[in-house]
Amino acid sequence: VGPEGPRAVVFDLDDTLIDWWTAIARAASEVAEPEAVDRLLRVVRSDAWEIRDDGAVHRRHWEVREHPGRFWRAVGEPETAAGTGAVVAAFGRALRPRLFRDVLSALDTVAGRARIAVLTNSPHAAADLDVLGVSHRVDHVLSLDGALRKPALEGFAASCERLDCRPAEVMYVGDSPRVDVEPALEAGMRAAWIDRFDDPWTPPPGAVRLSSLEDLAWFLP
């Protein structure tokens, strides 16, 4: 991070702004016994987390919303399996993800000091931000699909163009080393890694680690 702060901050959505893990655990506990909840969370960890040798973890918690039946079937509990259709449907209704508790104060901190955007692979981003009451807080939302999906660099460049900024003037903030931090740096942006799960990964030079999004205050003009 240079002496001058970034002119814009671009956020990843899932597991950066939206707290999927808590939402999954809460929804599961509304529809299943504690032992089945524990087993579901273990399935999510083994099926939706990619753990690299250097300690980097990429999490695809959003898949639980897209394919809840796949995860519940893997729980393998006889009574759950017997009622899979009903359990999955009830789980889907109960799954109402919220923002992490540091998001609103972080958006307050950034607003007025830098512009704010969202860049995500989620096709539901605009609707999710609307439901969460923060769509008016962001300059633009880019939902990438096909070959443009992160970690492809084109999406990062497109977001900078929409902000009318050079990549070096933009800080990308995300939870995933592989699809957020590393490609943002490669695209010439500044990068901040939000360490939501206390992972044993050290970000490369040029990237900073945040334990809370409120820490962004240190890096703004």
Binding Mg ion by CB under 5 A: which of 23, 175, 183, 208? 175
Contact 126, 141 (CB under 8 A): yes
Q: Specify the residue, 16 or 109, whose C-beta has the smaller distance to Mg ion.
A: 16
Binding part of the chain for Mg ion, among 9-17, 37-45, 67-75, 106-114 by CB under 5 A, reads: 9-17
Beta-bridge partner residues of 58: 50
DSSP string, 86-113: HHHHHHHHH---EE-TTHHHHHHHHTTT
C-beta neighbour count of 53 within 10 angstroms = 5
19 binds Mg ion (CB under 5 A): no
Contact 105, 216 (CB under 8 A): no
Q: In the bound complex, what is the minimum distance in angstroms from residue 18's beta carbon to Mg ion?
A: 8
Q: In the bound complex, what is the minimum distance in angstroms from residue 173's beta carbon to Mg ion?
A: 10
Write down how long the chain is: 221
Q: Record the tokens describing residue 19, joined without a space.
A: 């707290």
Binding part of the chain for Mg ion, among 4-12, 27-35, 110-118, 199-207 by CB under 5 A, reads: 4-12
Q: Specify the residue, 175 or 182, whose C-beta has the smaller distance to Mg ion.
A: 175
14 binds Mg ion (CB under 5 A): yes
12 binds Mg ion (CB under 5 A): yes
User: Rule CB under 5 A: which of 20-79 touch Mg ion?
Assistant: none
182 binds Mg ion (CB under 5 A): no
15 binds Mg ion (CB under 5 A): yes
Contact 9, 110 (CB under 8 A): yes
128 binds Mg ion (CB under 5 A): no
User: Rule CB under 5 A: which of 87-116 touch Mg ion?
Assistant: none
Separation of alpha carbons 181 and 194, rounded Å: 9
Contact 85, 76 (CB under 8 A): no
Of all residues in this chain, which one has the CB nearest to Mg ion in the complex? Answer: 15
Separation of alpha carbons 42 and 122, rounded Å: 24
Binding site for Mg ion (CB under 5 A): 12, 14-16, 175
